[in-house]
Structure 1
Amino acid sequence: MKIAIAGGTGLVGRALTNLLREQGHEPIILTRGQPQNARYVQWLHGTLPLEQLDGIDAFVNLAGVSLNDRRWTSEQKEAIYNSRMTATEEMLRIVTQLSTPPQVIVNASAVGIYPISTTATYNETSTQRANDFLGKTVADWEQKALRAKELGIRTCLARFGVILDTDAGALPLITLPYKMFVGGTVGSGKQWLSWIHIHDVARAILYAIETPSLEGAINFAAPHAERMKSFGKTVSRILNRPHWLPVPNFALQLALGEKSVLVLEGQHVVPEKLLAAGFTFQFPTLEEALRDLYKS
């Protein structure tokens, strides 16, 4: 298959590109930078050469300013929001101009659309919505992406949990205190962390592309979420480091500002659609995921 990937140079995009190449598919990376070879196409900067996208089977939109880069100042929140709206709008413009539109679109989303809770469990049929910055951003993002469905294109909304990778994302921040021998429970420890291994993210995106029955909201989270206290103890065991020094809420709020909600609060999310469609997680438990990532 010929698959266009917007945001293909980011964490998920790189993993997906590698998987597609391994499987014999042709990824086309849309980038703001200068095209490096025939597999890279400029976008969001000048005129997009649409002929290079003719015949694509799928469009994967991962583009957007990272939630992890900086403190959530008003300017940063505006950048996070606008980057997602702009990229999705451009994706829609592109597919309407292609002589043959793609059969499927996979648009990134996040489990942050669900409200914070220590007691609720959310699947794709859950109608509750968060009213905070992240929840509203994700809701607007999904609403815009679903315009592709009106064009007759099967549309998947990939609601990512916390993606685990040793090079980027949240895991290096979570494990750093343990590597310095000062790791411990973050916040109350009761908050849920719905996580997923980076390789399962890439595999699930390809599975969504290849599975016609999958559409709409899809939870990209491992089947076994962990509370933060349990998550920390597993990290401690895998890294062979002590779990003893608690990190109080106020300390993280002081250090990270509003962005501290990413680790101080969370949701228990289950991937019912993926499991029902026959997807098998390579790393269904945190123990398996961390042992693979740290090769222990």
Structure 2
Amino acid sequence: MKILMTGGSGLICSNLVPILRPCDIAVYTRNVAKAEQILGHKIHFLSTLSHLKNLDEYDVVINLAGEPIVDKKWTQDQKRIIEKSRWELTEKIVNLIKAGDNPPNILISGSAIGYYGNQTNDAIDEQFTVENDEFSHKLCAHWEFLAQQAESDKTRVCILRTGIVLSKRGGALAKMLFPFRLGLGGPIASGQQYMSWIHLEDMLQGIVHLIENKDCQGVYNFTAPNPVTNQEFSQELARSLSRPCLVRVPEFMLRGLLGEMADLVVYGQRVVPTRLLDSGYKFVYPELSRVFDCLRK
């Protein structure tokens, strides 16, 4: 099986490569030197897709590339960079898939639970529909629309609406650990907003599940079955580190630091993975307590 992957130096893809390594893997990346340092030299790296007429030589395409959404404040210029990094590459990949006579069997393309925008505490799954002007929704909605254009009787498309990916290897949890280890961690704003999370292992095994199960197509929430409030998340993390959970971060402070991007943490969504569960996937880490128990090891 031949696999083309974008976003190879990111947390998800860099950990997915070793799982898929028995396959013939090609990684598209803008920085080959960095990707080689992370992934090693046994991977075939592509610095451009312009020389390709189609993607017929690949069985699977995994498209998770994109400018990090939380690394910089959302100025108008930064929003355009975030959009361009997702939309242009996805459109290019879709056009290459459609240009072939024997296209890949599956396109797995990224998205995020930001698609749902700011929601109440009601549980929502893939059937939930939303239309609003929030940046995160518009970003994800168009990203998904572009990817879905690759669908045909030869190519199935799976969209991953991903929650907060938790891992000791990097990502969001690594950034949270520092203040909590100092005893300075605590809830954000009211603490009642829901956090929909997924352990990295379930992220990786879930992708493998979609590849192997040919009946899987469409949108999938990649979140654990048991989302928690920010208050519960903070208390569980503090407990796992034997630290207090006392320092609340006020909303006005976040607004001052992050501007519009503060919406990602001040508000939330209680997202559940109905379609992934219905497809037969069994979560390795369904409960947050199991995730944080691993921090002690």
Q: Distance in 2 between matches of 1:63 and 1:276?
A: 27
* Aligned residue number for residue 281 of structure 2: 279
Residue identity matched to 1:172:
A
Q: CA deviation at 1:251?
A: 1.1
Of the three residues 86, 89, 102, the one matched with 2:88 is 86
Among 38, 43, 51, the alignment partner of 1:39 is 43
1:213 aligns with 2:215: yes
Native 8 Å contact 1:112 1:130 kept in 2: no
Tell me the residue number matched to 1:16: 16
Q: CA deviation at 1:170?
A: 1.9
Note the alpha carbon deviations across 1:3-48, whole angstroms, 9 max, x for none. Answer: 1111111111111112212xx33322111234755623324x4733
Maintained 8 Å contact 2:104/2:154: no
* Identical positions, percent: 33
Amino acid at match of 2:165: I
**Distance between the aligned counterparts of 1:95 and 1:168, measured in 2?**
32
Counterpart for residue 132 of structure 1 = 134
Q: 1:15 to 1:125 in 2, by over 3 A?
A: same
Tell me, yes or no, if the aligned pair for 1:161 and 1:196 is still in contact at 8 Å: yes
Q: Which whole-Å CA distance do the structure 2 matches of 1:173 and 1:38 have between them?
A: 30
**1:1-296 correspondence runs (5 A):** 1-21=1-21, 24-34=22-32, 37=41, 39-43=43-47, 45=48, 47-49=50-52, 54-150=56-152, 152-292=154-294, 294-296=295-297
Aligned partner of residue 200 in structure 1, secondary structure: helix
CA distance in 1, matches of 2:203, 2:185: 27
> Unaligned 5+ residue runs, structure 1?
none
**Equivalent residue of 1:246, what SS?**
coil
Counterpart residue identity of residue 171, structure 1:
L
d(CA) in 1 for partners of 2:133, 2:27: 33
- Give the Cα separation in 2 of the matches to 1:266 and 1:27: 36
Distance in 2 of aligned mates of 1:130 and 1:177: 34
User: Match for 1:109: what amino acid?
Assistant: S
Q: Distance in 2 between matches of 1:100 and 1:266?
A: 41
Residue identity in the other structure for 1:48: H
Deviation at 1:143, TM superposition (A): 0.6
Say which SS state the counterpart of residue 136 (structure 2) adopts: helix
SS of the aligned residue for 1:41 comes to strand
* SS of corresponding position for 1:116: coil
Any idea what the Cα deviations from partners look like across 1:70-107, whole Å, max 9, x if unmatched? 11111111100111111101111222344521101100
Which whole-Å CA distance do the structure 2 matches of 1:93 and 1:38 have between them?
28
CA–CA separation in structure 2 for the residues paired with 1:148 and 1:54: 13
26-35 vs 127-136, which moves further: 26-35
Q: Which amino acid aligns with 1:221?
A: T
SS in 2 for 1:100: coil
Deviation at 1:199, TM superposition (A): 1.3
Deviation of the 1:54 alpha carbon: 4.7
Q: Per-residue deviation at 1:262?
A: 1.9
Gaps of 5+ in 2: none
Task: Give the distance between the partners of 1:251 and 1:119, measured in 2 at CA.
Answer: 23
**Does the Cα contact within 8 Å between 2:110 and 2:161 map onto a contact in 1?**
yes
Question: Per-residue CA shift, 1:176-202, capped at 9, x if unaligned?
Answer: 221121111111001000000111111
Give TM-score, length-normalised by structure 1: 0.92
Give the aligned CA root-mean-square deviation in angstroms: 1.9
Q: How many residues align?
A: 291
- Where 1:148 maps in the other structure, the secondary structure is coil
- TM-superposed CA distance for 1:290, in Å, is 2.0
What secondary structure, in the 3-state scheme, does the structure 1 residue paired with 2:92 have?
helix
What amino acid is the match of 1:13?
C
- Give the drift of 1:295: 4.1
* Cα distance in 2, alignment partners of residues 251 and 174 from structure 1: 17
Q: TM-score, normalised by structure 2?
A: 0.91
Q: Distance in 2 between matches of 1:135 and 1:69?
A: 18
